[in-house]
Amino acid sequence: MIMDKVKILQYCNEFSKNTLMETLKIEFIDAGEDFLVAKMPVNSAVHQPMGLLHGGASVALAESVGSAASHFFIDAKNQEVRGIEISANHLKSIREGIVFGTARVIHKGKSIHLWEIKITDEAGNLISLCKLTNMVLTKENK
């Protein structure tokens, strides 16, 4: 990554304003050379009808953190990222608290990035395991 951790987190949190990430209260909290971490509160706003964390909210967290992480491996002036595939295995349920999505790069190519995103609870229990594929595109309107 080319920026320092504080700048990375400020950038990610700033570009999340007025988006689904803000609606879900996703906040980027940690970054490193090959990972990015965001957190999301678990409450009724992200529940499914049985009062559990909705799988779609977990996937939204996973895609948000994985897509944001890809931005630090591209030339943002001339390139952009698009998520092209995501898969998720929901392994444990949670009713309240906070979940953390940690994206770690599996493959960093010129045109494809592959991320593993682990969603864990506050105790470190694995809630969901996701895999995200991002395509790197050349910007048409620079």
Which sequence positions are flagged as catalytic? 63
DSSP letter string, 54-117: -HHHHHHHHHHHHHHHHGGGS-TTTEEEEEEEEEEEE----SSEEEEEEEEEEEE-SSEEEEEE
For 5, 18, 33, 86, 122, the CA distances from 59, given in Å and listed in that order, are 24, 19, 23, 8, 18
* Rounded-to-10 torsion of CA 18, 49, 68, 34: 150
Closest-CA residue to 39 (of 118, 131, 104): 118
